[in-house]
């Protein structure tokens, strides 16, 4: 791979910008050129905001030229998942329901990005309303994995992960309700972090399952992810679940490169049958690297994780059935069948029939069922009890170890279409990531190699106690450095070269 500016890490781009070797406008244009060249095949982006991005870049260049102090990421481009509002820029959530909608306000994540001078290139594809593990549920077509165009880029944030792996952006924002940041990161050989619940504001994040949804940073390296984390995290009075505490020092942690004396727990239940051989091989290789770096590795049991997937697929649809009631065709979004003869209720039903895709309807119906009288205690009530058990498993584990680890997903990227007609098989893909959301703790996925049998990236998951997200960065940064020195280059550098158009 001949190394161009788009192949640099965000930290390297930041240094180039600071030294004046490149301007933010040049950097944005280099990425728009790359997008024009490869996104016809990848389809990571749903919308590009050239005008807004170049205006932001020019303003950052002017600030730097005037000698003003700017954030290290000022002028670095970013791809934004289409579930976060950006004023005046189309926000669809991958749904027909919001086709053409331009939000009148910025999400807090976007406000923070703009304040830091980050250049938002455009909005990325996703499973409709973040429900899915493949982006096949987008109303606007499937995104393709840059490692193999016949395979999924993960989901729901497959547009963001594919943009990173395809060098269309060095930074991206994802959201993670059951794994939608970490699973896409795993299958594309990139890094994604689901921060502690409440540490990044949900204001302007279109809600799927409010008690689980969490926005987070994505990039190609642990350090870049840490830099972005510090930009987007922080207390926000506009989100009543926002935690009022200082943001941890993620960048410092990512640079420590030291795990001597740290205790790392391997979750016994997240292994074994159903895990692809190459996933297990690469996971074990990463454990050895951590051991060599001086960490202590112990096995930890989390017996209630067995129930996590089932609890999640009751809690998330239940909350979704309530949250998605807002799409009533009255105040925003599309409206179908309003010919003067029909009642508001009829119009609402027709709009929701047309506006929602198959998976969204499936989950609304499931959630409505789980919350209905007669079934509430058996389903939703039980799921909430399971949630307590999972929290207790984590509390017991974190009393013994600093962080927990597992594979991020049981397999590498599957083929487009392989699981789209089998919702239960699709749901199984999230088995390792879901417990983190139910307990509200932090989770990171970083690449730990290519599976020998298919040559596709494998993800390594690190879980840290609530409000100790810096521990993931410390362990992740150390592991990344150890693996890269054994490979001789970062994993993303070995991605196949994309056809350029």
Q: Just list the catalytic residues.
A: 81, 156, 180
Pick from 83, 347, 403, 431: which binds other proteins (CB under 8 A)? 347
Report in angstroms how near the CB of residue 341 gets to other proteins at its nearest. Answer: 9
- How far is it, in rounded angstroms, from Cα 64 to Cα 482? 35
Helix, strand or coil for residue 413? coil
* Stretch 268-287: interaction string toward other proteins, x if CB under 8 A: --------------------
Please identify, using beta-carbon distances, which residue of 277 and 344 lies nearer to other proteins.
344
Beta strands 403-407 and 263-267, pairing class: parallel
Pick from 314, 403, 432, 448: which binds other proteins (CB under 8 A)? 314
| In contact, 494 and 478? CB cutoff 8 Å | no
Q: Is residue 319 exposed (0-12), middle (13-18) or buried (19+ Cβ within 10 Å)?
A: buried
| In contact, 99 and 354? CB cutoff 8 Å | no
| In contact, 274 and 410? CB cutoff 8 Å | yes
Give the total of residues touching other proteins (CB under 8 A): 74
Instruction: Work out whether 349 is an interface residue with other proteins (CB under 8 A).
Output: yes
Phi and psi torsions of 50, nearest 5°: -55, -50
Please identify, using beta-carbon distances, which residue of 288 and 353 lies nearer to other proteins.
353
Tell me the CA distances in angstroms from 313 to 87, 112, 310, 371, one per residue in order: 32, 32, 5, 13
| In contact, 28 and 59? CB cutoff 8 Å | no
Instruction: Work out whether 203 is an interface residue with other proteins (CB under 8 A).
Output: no
Specify the stretch interacting with other proteins by CB under 8 A; choose among 29-37, 174-182, 279-287, 384-392.
384-392
Residue 490 gets the label, from left (phi > 0), alpha (psi -120 to 50) or beta, of beta
Encoded tokens for 141:
């077509």
Encoded tokens for 90:
């189309």
Please identify, using beta-carbon distances, which residue of 172 and 215 lies nearer to other proteins.
215
Instruction: Work out whether 441 is an interface residue with other proteins (CB under 8 A).
Output: yes
Q: Interaction with other proteins in 36-95: which residues (CB under 8 A)?
A: none
Instruction: Work out whether 101 is an interface residue with other proteins (CB under 8 A).
Output: yes
Report in angstroms how near the CB of residue 466 gets to other proteins at its nearest. Answer: 6
| CB neighbourhood size of 207 (10 A) | 18
* Stretch 219-248: interaction string toward other proteins, x if CB under 8 A: ------------------x--xx-x-----
Pick from 205, 389, 397, 431: which binds other proteins (CB under 8 A)? 389
Say how many CA atoms lie within 13 Å of 11 toward its Cβ.
12
Please identify, using beta-carbon distances, which residue of 256 and 342 lies nearer to other proteins.
342
Pick from 235, 369, 376, 487: which binds other proteins (CB under 8 A)? 369
Instruction: Work out whether 338 is an interface residue with other proteins (CB under 8 A).
Output: yes
Instruction: Work out whether 376 is an interface residue with other proteins (CB under 8 A).
Output: no
Report in angstroms how near the CB of residue 434 gets to other proteins at its nearest. Answer: 12
- How far is it, in rounded angstroms, from Cα 430 to Cα 409? 7
Pick from 260, 345, 488, 501: which binds other proteins (CB under 8 A)? 345
Report in angstroms how near the CB of residue 398 gets to other proteins at its nearest. Answer: 14
Beta strands 45-48 and 77-81, pairing class: unpaired
| CB neighbourhood size of 33 (10 A) | 13
Pick from 119, 311, 432, 434: which binds other proteins (CB under 8 A)? 311
| In contact, 174 and 13? CB cutoff 8 Å | no
Pick from 366, 431, 448, 450: which binds other proteins (CB under 8 A)? 366
Instruction: Work out whether 135 is an interface residue with other proteins (CB under 8 A).
Output: no
Please identify, using beta-carbon distances, which residue of 369 and 487 lies nearer to other proteins.
369
Pick from 21, 36, 150, 388: which binds other proteins (CB under 8 A)? 388
Please identify, using beta-carbon distances, which residue of 71 and 95 lies nearer to other proteins.
95
Say how many CA atoms lie within 13 Å of 140 toward its Cβ.
27
Report in angstroms how near the CB of residue 299 gets to other proteins at its nearest. Answer: 24
Pick from 346, 489, 499, 500: which binds other proteins (CB under 8 A)? 346
| In contact, 213 and 205? CB cutoff 8 Å | yes
Beta bridge partners of 119: 77
Tell me the CA distances in angstroms from 21 to 24, 68, 77, 227, one per residue in order: 10, 17, 16, 21
Instruction: Work out whether 379 is an interface residue with other proteins (CB under 8 A).
Output: yes
Pick from 67, 424, 497, 501: which binds other proteins (CB under 8 A)? 424
Pick from 3, 69, 260, 331: which binds other proteins (CB under 8 A)? 331
Phi and psi torsions of 497, nearest 5°: -75, 135
Specify the stretch interacting with other proteins by CB under 8 A; choose among 121-129, 193-201, 399-407, 412-420.
193-201
Pick from 29, 280, 382, 484: which binds other proteins (CB under 8 A)? 382
- How far is it, in rounded angstroms, from Cα 498 to Cα 272? 35
Please identify, using beta-carbon distances, which residue of 97 and 479 lies nearer to other proteins.
97
Specify the stretch interacting with other proteins by CB under 8 A; choose among 100-108, 137-145, 161-169, 250-258.
100-108
Beta bridge partners of 457: 450
Residues whose CB is less than 8 angstroms from the CB of residue 255 and which lie 6 or more positions away in sequence, other chains included: 223, 477
Please identify, using beta-carbon distances, which residue of 263 and 349 lies nearer to other proteins.
349
- How far is it, in rounded angstroms, from Cα 330 to Cα 355? 13
Residues whose CB is less than 8 angstroms from the CB of residue 418 and which lie 6 or more positions away in sequence, other chains included: none
């Amino acid at each position: 791979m001949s190394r161009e500016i788009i192949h640099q890490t965000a930290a390297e781009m930041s240094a180039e910008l600071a030294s004046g070797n490149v301007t933010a406008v040049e950097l944005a244009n280099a990425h728009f050129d790359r997008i024009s060249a490869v996104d016809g095949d990848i389809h990571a982006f749903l919308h590009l905001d050239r005008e807004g991005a170049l205006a932001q870049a020019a303003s950052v260049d002017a600030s730097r030229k005037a000698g003003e102090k700017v954030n290290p990421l000022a002028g670095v481009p970013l791809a934004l998942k289409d579930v976060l509002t950006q004023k005046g820029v189309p926000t669809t959530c991958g749904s027909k329901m919001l086709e053409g909608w331009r939000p009148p306000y910025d999400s807090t994540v976007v406000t923070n990005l703009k304040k830091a001078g980050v250049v938002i290139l455009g909005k990325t594809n996703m499973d409709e309303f973040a429900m899915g593990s493949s982006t096949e549920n987008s109303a606007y077509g499937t995104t393709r994995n840059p490692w193999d165009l016949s395979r999924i880029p993960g989901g729901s944030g497959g547009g963001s992960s594919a943009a990173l792996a395809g060098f269309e952006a060095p930074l991206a924002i994802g959201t993670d309700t059951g794994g939608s940041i970490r699973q896409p990161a795993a299958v594309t050989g990139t890094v994604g972090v689901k921060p502690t619940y409440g540490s990044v504001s949900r204001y302007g994040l279109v809600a799927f399952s409010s008690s689980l949804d969490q926005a987070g940073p994505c990039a190609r390296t642990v350090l870049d992810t840490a830099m972005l984390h510090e930009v987007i995290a922080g207390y926000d009075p506009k989100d009543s679940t926002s935690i009022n505490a200082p943001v941890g020092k993620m960048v410092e942690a990512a640079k420590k490169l030291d795990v001597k004396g740290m205790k790392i727990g391997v979750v016994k239940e997240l292994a074994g049958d159903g895990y692809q051989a190459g996933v297990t091989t690469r996971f074990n290789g990463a454990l050895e690297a951590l051991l060599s770096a001086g960490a202590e590795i112990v096995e930890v049991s989390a017996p209630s994780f067995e129930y996590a997937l089932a609890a999640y697929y009751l809690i998330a649809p239940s909350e979704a059935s309530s949250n998605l009631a807002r799409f009533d065709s009255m105040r925003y979004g599309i409206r179908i069948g309003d010919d003067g003869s029909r009642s508001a209720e009829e119009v609402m039903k027709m709009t929701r029939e047309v506006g929602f895709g198959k998976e969204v309807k499936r989950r609304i119906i499931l959630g409505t069922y789980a919350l209905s009288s007669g079934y509430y205690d058996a389903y939703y009530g039980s799921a909430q009890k399971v949630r307590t058990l999972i929290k207790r498993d984590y509390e017991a584990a974190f009393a013994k170890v600093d962080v927990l680890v597992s594979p991020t997903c049981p397999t590498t990227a599957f083929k487009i279409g392989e699981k789209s007609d089998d919702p239960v098989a699709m749901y199984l893909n999230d088995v390792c990531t879901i417990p983190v959301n139910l307990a509200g703790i932090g989770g990171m996925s970083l690449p730990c190699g290519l599976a020998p049998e298919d040559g596709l990236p494998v993800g390594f998951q690190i879980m840290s106690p609530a409000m100790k997200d810096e521990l993931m960065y410390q362990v992740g940064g150390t592991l990344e450095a150890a693996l890269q020195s054994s490979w001789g280059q970062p994993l993303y550098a070995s991605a196949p070269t994309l056809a350029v158009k």
